[in-house]
Amino acid sequence: MADAQPTHDIEAVFRGKGIPFTRQRRLIWGYFAGADRAATIGEAAEALRGDGVGQATVYRTVTLLGDLGLLARVQDGRGEICFIAPPIGHSHPLICGVCRRVVRFDGDGDVADLEARLAATTGFSIYGHHLEVYGICPECRAAREGDHGE
Ligand SMILES: [Zn+2]
Ligand SMILES: [Zn+2]
């Protein structure tokens, strides 16, 4: 699935739960799913104001999408709570703590050694993991280097 575009059948998730997939919910999901960086609820509300979506609706919907596993909560370098569309298959997000750009990487076998060690030392049967990696992207690093001496 190397070239597969990330997609989530979000309508099926809503249908399966018997929750209406309204125009506003579609817009809010679309905002996060189409973003190449993590965004706060406030930023989503700002972007969607022209579409007549209020901040309270954005807040409630983001919470709902999170509960349904359709948005993942991450933090930026200042500890601000942001949201991204969740990983597809076994992939994980690498997030720039400065500009919040998100790069997804294939997680195949990533923590196999750790899981094997944990299974051996704890006796757990391990079936999964949750992983986010944080760093500073090349553009933000270059910008910082240009700044020094201030
Ligand atoms: Zn950056
Ligand atoms: Zn992984």
What spacing in Å lies between the alpha carbon of 144 and ligand 1's midpoint? 10
Pairwise CA distance, residues 24 & 40, whole Å: 17
Identify which ligand lies nearest to the alpha carbon of 95: 1
Site of tokens 């601000």: 80
Q: How many residues does the chain have?
A: 150
Identify which ligand lies nearest to the alpha carbon of 106: 2
pLDDT digits (tens, 9 = 90+) for 95-138: 999 999 999 999 999 999 999 999 999 999 998 898 999 999 99
β-pair partners for 103: 94
Pairwise CA distance, residues 38 & 26, whole Å: 18
Question: What tokens were used for 61?
Answer: 């919907």
What spacing in Å lies between the alpha carbon of 20 and ligand 2's midpoint? 32
Identify which ligand lies nearest to the alpha carbon of 140: 1
What spacing in Å lies between the alpha carbon of 37 and ligand 1's midpoint? 9
Of 123, 107, 126, give the one whose Cα is nearest residue 115. 126
pLDDT band at 86 (very low <50, low <70, confident <90, very high): confident
What spacing in Å lies between the alpha carbon of 104 and ligand 1's midpoint? 14
Res 8 pLDDT > 80 = no
Pairwise CA distance, residues 88 & 9, whole Å: 11
pLDDT digits (tens, 9 = 90+) for 34-52: 999 999 999 999 999 999 9
Q: What is the pTM of this model?
A: 0.82
